[in-house]
Amino acid sequence: MNPREFIAQKGYRDNPRRLMEDLIHLVFLILGLVAVGSVLVITIYLVISGLPAIFKIGPAEFLFGTRWASTASEPEFGILPFILTSIYGTAGAIVIGVPIGFFAAVFLAKMAPRKVREVMELCIGVLAGIPSVVYGLVGMTILVPGIRIIFGVPDGATLFAAIIVLAVMILPSVINVSLTALQAVPREYEEASLALGATSTETYFRVTVPAAKSGIFTAIVLGIGRAIGEAMAIMMVAGNVANMPSIFKSVRFLTTAVASEMSYSSGLQREALFSIALVLFLFIMIINAILNVLKTGGRKG
């Protein structure tokens, strides 16, 4: 179609405002595509640069190898220690962080006096805004020496330190999402329960919490997503040695494996780092998929 026909068909000549309208739509569409385009570029780039090394090393050796020695004279590229560390570290953070966050959310939603709630919500907002490097710095200067002294281990830079830092870091998202879910439960449910003679604590845990279940699961999955993708803070407290994970050992996560070696890497080492990033990306994709299922499930319920 030539431009003149196009203009005639759309009626732009008679109606210049329509032209303006359509132009603005076009601009907004392009801006919207920036996000879509970024995701596509990142995905394609990661797959292209991450896959070759996996096949050079051998998928089984890469994923299940237990030794990572990328610059040794006979290099080995096994990332099982990183995968397990990421899983254990995230699980640990969830085990510690979710109960604290969940009970804090129940307290804020149902029991807290207004003044207390306002102060606590302010604090949680601040906690959410603290950059991860600050978490790392505080962890490095207080938590790491603290763990060494309290537990009597030679060095405090351990998986345990990373779990504590991650547990604190996921608190804001766990609290906020659980809180929204709890507040969305209709008052009638609780009133009915109270009218039947249940105490208020019974009501919260038997009626309100089950009703907010899907929102609380969403909070947990969000926490997992935050914990598994964190790099900076745990790089500063976990010691970064490619050991198989153990609670009082120095460990390296998937994220920190990429971040710590990237700056000086070359050749197959660099390619393997991209492969680690690809594995991490898959983990995050799976978590996002679970999150989506939970969200749509919540809407139906």
Out of 46, 83, 105, 157, name the contact with other proteins by CB under 8 A: 157
Amino acid identity, residue 70?
A: S
Count the site residues for other proteins by CB under 8 A.
Answer: 29
Q: How far is the CB of 132 from other proteins (least distance, A)?
A: 15
Instruction: Work out the burial of residue 196: count CB atoms within 10 Å of its CB; fewer than 13 is exposed, 13-18 middle, 19 or more buried.
Output: exposed
Is-contact 135 165, C-beta < 8 A? yes
Asked whether position 155 contacts other proteins by CB under 8 A, the answer is yes
* List of E strands, 20-106: 68-69, 76-77
Q: Does 255 bind other proteins (CB under 8 A)?
A: no
- Tell whether residue 154 is a contact of other proteins (CB under 8 A): yes
> Where on the phi/psi map is residue 68: left (φ > 0), alpha (ψ -120 to 50), or beta?
beta
Which of 132, 180, 246, 265 is close enough to bind other proteins by CB under 8 A? 265
Q: Which of 53, 104, 144, 209: binder of other proteins (CB under 8 A)?
A: 144
Span interacting with other proteins, options 18-26, 56-64, 111-119, 136-144, rule CB under 8 A: 136-144
Please count the residues of the chain.
Answer: 301
Among 163, 182, 255, 261, binds other proteins (CB under 8 A): 261
Is 27 or 33 the residue whose CB approaches other proteins more closely? 27
Looking at 240, 255, 258, 277, which residue binds other proteins (CB under 8 A)? Answer: 240
Measured from the CB atom, is 24 or 42 closer to other proteins?
Answer: 24
- The candidate with the shortest Cα–Cα distance to 294, out of 226, 217, 227, is 217
* 211 CB-near residues (< 8 Å, 6+ apart): 185, 186, 189
Stretch that binds other proteins, among 23-31, 43-51, 180-188, 258-266 (CB under 8 A): 258-266
Give the integer Cα–Cα distance in Å for 217 and 174: 9
Q: Which of 56, 110, 117, 148 binds other proteins (CB under 8 A)?
A: 148
Contact between 164 and 143 (Cβ < 8 Å): yes
Tell me the torsion sign for CA atoms 216, 220, 221, 223: positive
**CA 23 to the chain's CA centroid:** 37
Q: What type of residue sits at position 168? A: V
Judged by CB under 8 A, the chain residues 70 through 129 that form the site for other proteins are 70-73
Nearer to other proteins, 69 or 282 (CB): 69
- Applying CB under 8 A, does 23 fall inside the site for other proteins? no
Stretch that binds other proteins, among 32-40, 214-222, 253-261, 290-298 (CB under 8 A): 253-261
> Closer to other proteins at the Cβ: 230 or 261?
261
Choose between 32 and 267: whose C-beta lies nearer to other proteins.
267
281 exposure class (CB count in 10 Å sphere: 0-12, 13-18, 19+): middle
Separation of alpha carbons 251 and 232, rounded Å: 14
Residues 6+ positions from 148 with CB-CB distance below 8 Å: 154, 155, 156
Rule CB under 8 A: say whether 250 interacts with other proteins: yes
- The least CB distance from residue 72 to other proteins, in Å, is 4
Residues that bind other proteins (CB under 8 A): 69-73, 140-141, 144-145, 148, 154-157, 235-236, 239-241, 250, 252, 259-261, 263-266, 269
